[in-house]
Chains A and B, each alone.
Chain A
Amino acid sequence: MAIELKMPALSPTMEQGNLARWLKAEGDQISAGDIIAEIETDKATMEFEAVDEGVLTKIMVAEGTEDVAVGTVIALIAGEDEASADEADEGKSQASTEAKAEPEPEAQKDTPAKPDPLAAKKVQAAADPDIPEGTSFTSTTVREALRDAMAEEMRRDPRVFVMGEEVAEYQGAYKVTQGLLAEFGPKRVIDTPITEYGFAGIGSGAAMGGLRPIVEFMTFNFAMQAIDHIINSAAKTNYMSGGQMRCPIVFRGPNSAASRVAAQHSQNFGPWYASVPGLIVIAPYDSADAKGLLKAAIRCEDPVVFLENELVYGRSFDVPDVDDYVLPIGKARIMREGKDVTIVSYSIGVGLALEAAETLAGEGIDAEVIDLRTLRPLDKETVLKSLAKTNRLVVAEEGWPTCSIASEIIAICMEEGFDHLDAPVMRVCNEDVPLPYAANLEKLALIDAARITEAARKVCYR
């Protein structure tokens, strides 16, 4: 019949505490909410509030007692007679919880079986769609390819809309959304105030509410204002909700160094986002990939960070003239086959790697160039397969070296490709400094084809 009052855990880490003071004596009537005792922990003195009503019949632990373990019975309360049936039940459930609570630490010892890294990847070998023989190609700028991807997906799915600074009437700060307002109207092409945190949150909420937002950041430097929503709201919700609440959103915009805009406007955020479980991170290089992958990103049920590059927007590449050109997410592309050394890169670095490969060819070194395209999930298989063939690998990354995609590729080569390595993997990255403004210093800070060529020679011991 009596209700046992137990030493409460007052913080997530508390295991014991001192019973500093009893504020009620044996025989006192207790009401819910009365403070009955003060409990002292190493952090603070806290009040122990009564939840149940009744008479305090017995104090089991005297005041002043130190190191009372959480869960110890410290007092007994006799309930009102009329409520006795309920309380007897409650007493029982408390006793049973204690019995059950004990074996819990053991349960924690079960370390979950780690999935076999390669088995997890097996799903299905995603491949670029076959382009039928005789397909024509149209030379398209990356800028137009991105616009075409958005327009096609907006025609296809009325839930898709674009929001961001200057995306509508101005036609895009970098003209990527040119013409969308005229075709889709202001409901689906929304100019926002300069308020990245706010509109990234509104976009994420709209995705949770069933829409398919494309949130344009004028550049990803400004997305740092909004990174809480990208990571805490968009990336984690599906997991935290046990798969109930999705956030199918695309955050896109130019990333990395532009030209002469100095430190605050020049940074590659690829490694930042690629470290976050729950996000898809895509960083295409050419127009066909920009189009095919942005279409895939918009259709994707997961939140996508889509990193473009301002310096590449104006470059033209062939795009196949096929209806609905959609590429697989998470699949690297071999841009150039070779047998002597592998150069892994992404985004603007791919152009430099191809340039380096041309130079190397002139020297008799046959370089294979891989464009990762997706930074998360990373296509390890393509990298490792190439390493198994060439036995030498260089990573070229327009970004800082520390904790970079290059670091990640090197770790993968060590862990899973060690037996294939004939030389240490080298990384060619930007200098480890904020990007300077002066033209000469800027040039010194950024990677170039010459540095990639030199690293490739080194791993070939040439």
Chain B
Amino acid sequence: MAKQPSKPRAQKPKGAPAATSASDDTDFLLHSLQDAFEANKRYNASEAEMLEFYRQMLLIRRFEEKAGQLYGLGLIGGFCHLYIGQEAVAIGLQSALNPERDSVITGYRDHGHMLAYGIDPKVIMAELTGREAGISKGKGGSMHMFSTSHKFYGGHGIVGAQVALGGGLALAHQYNGDGGICLAYFGDGAANQGQVYETFNMAALWKLPIVFVVEDNQYAMGTATKRSSAETRFYRRGTAFRIPGMEVNGMDVLEVRAAAEVAFAHVRAGNGPVLMECNTYRYRGHSMSDPAKYRSREEVQEQRELHDPIEGLKKTLIEAGKDEADLKAIDKEIRAQVAESADFAENSPEPEPAELYTDVLVEEY
């Protein structure tokens, strides 16, 4: 596994005359955002911002570790997809959103995206354990969680469905003129679904305010991207629809945040969608029942040791003069918060049997 970002960047042909203006370069739009991003690749965060990113990424990491433990204990059932390793993507992007107006939608690996939008870890964990206090009253589970009050629209179990649904959320933002944008996450696996391209077409045609984010964690279940995808530089896949692409190191929260600034400004200005590829890596299996036979231990270990987003930010913070003891204190605080949500999730009762019949329909007929 090469270091992130792992793929060769598309290069302008050598000797090609530099376009002097956008009108001379018909493909200007397609690479202009990447150019702007390259010019200033790391977000210039204040110490307070960096500490907040650190805290949020650590919350996701510890939450997911705890979820893995509870799964092992049989308290969480079914499918449980952990976000460990990918934390910088959710935090880098969502920290740049306005939670009052911008909507977020994702697939089944959704715990991290929810935590990044400030949803209480207690009700997420209680949903994972299938309890009454869960955010979906225990009826959705890990893959199907929503919080309309946080403008988080799921949590969708069908690979790729959230992309078209996200297009609809963006249409609603545009229709209502509320100034909001939609952030729609999907994986490198979903990137091969047909409806993704149907949505790209309509989003570009109608200039919908949406940022499509491919979280390329290198494997669709157990299939490496190069074994499933003819074009693994996913940011180029919007080209046919004239959607500008961006390629971002998803293991560095400050790079992700810098890219978010560029992309969101473009979309907010009414220029239509952006396709952003965040190269990242999931340390754990696809779900809890993953034989892990499709990649080597060394590969995973290398990612953890050399590219871990939390360790990376920690290094930046210490270089900037932050005391390591302060960071340890944050870790301790997060561990306590996660332990509290686990206790809450374990102690909440299961849903009442009568809950079986509620919420099938909204109205009575």
Contacts and interface: CB of A to CB of B under 8 A. Distances in A.
A242 B161 CA distance: 20
Given A98-B73, A278-B360, A377-B365, A233 B161 contact: yes
Nearest to B356: A112
Interface in A96-134: 96-98, 100-101, 107, 110-113, 115, 123-124, 126
Nearest to A249: B168
Contact of B173 (A45, A97, A209, A229): A209
Contacts of B245: none
A14 B137 contact: no
B346 A232 contact: no
Interface in A66-89: 70-71, 86, 89
Given A44-B293, A93-B342, A245-B148, A10 B156 contact: no
Nearest to B297: A35
Contact of B148 (A14, A113, A244): A244
Interface string A3-27: 0001011111010000000000000
B365 A97 contact: no
Contact of B153 (A47, A209, A300, A328): A209
Contacts of B336: 86, 89
Contacts of B156: 233
A300 B171 contact: no
Interface string B348-361: 00100110111111
Contact of A280 (B297, B346, B361): B361
Interface residues of B, number: 86
A417 interface: no
Interface string B52-84: 000000000000010011111111011100000
Nearest to B328: A82
Contacts, number: 238
B343 interface: yes
Interface string B186-215: 000000001100110110010000000000
A96 B346 contact: yes
Interface in B94-153: 103, 105, 134-140, 144-148, 153
A203 B168 CA distance: 6
Contacts of A14: 289
Interface of A: 6, 8-12, 14, 32-33, 35, 43-47, 49, 51, 70-71, 86, 89-90, 93-94, 96-98, 100-101, 107, 110-113, 115, 123-124, 126, 161, 187, 192-193, 195, 197-211, 213, 228-229, 232-233, 237-246, 248, 277-278, 280, 300-302, 328-330, 374, 377
19 contacts: A11-B288, A86-B336, A97-B73, A97-B75, A100-B346, A209-B168, A209-B172, A209-B173, A210-B176, A228-B161, A239-B360, A240-B140, A241-B144, A241-B145, A241-B154, A245-B154, A277-B360, A301-B362, A374-B365
Interface of B: 65, 68-75, 77-79, 103, 105, 134-140, 144-148, 153-154, 156-158, 161, 163-173, 175-176, 194-195, 198-199, 201-202, 205, 283-285, 288-293, 297, 300-301, 304, 332, 335-336, 339, 342-343, 346-347, 350, 353-354, 356-365
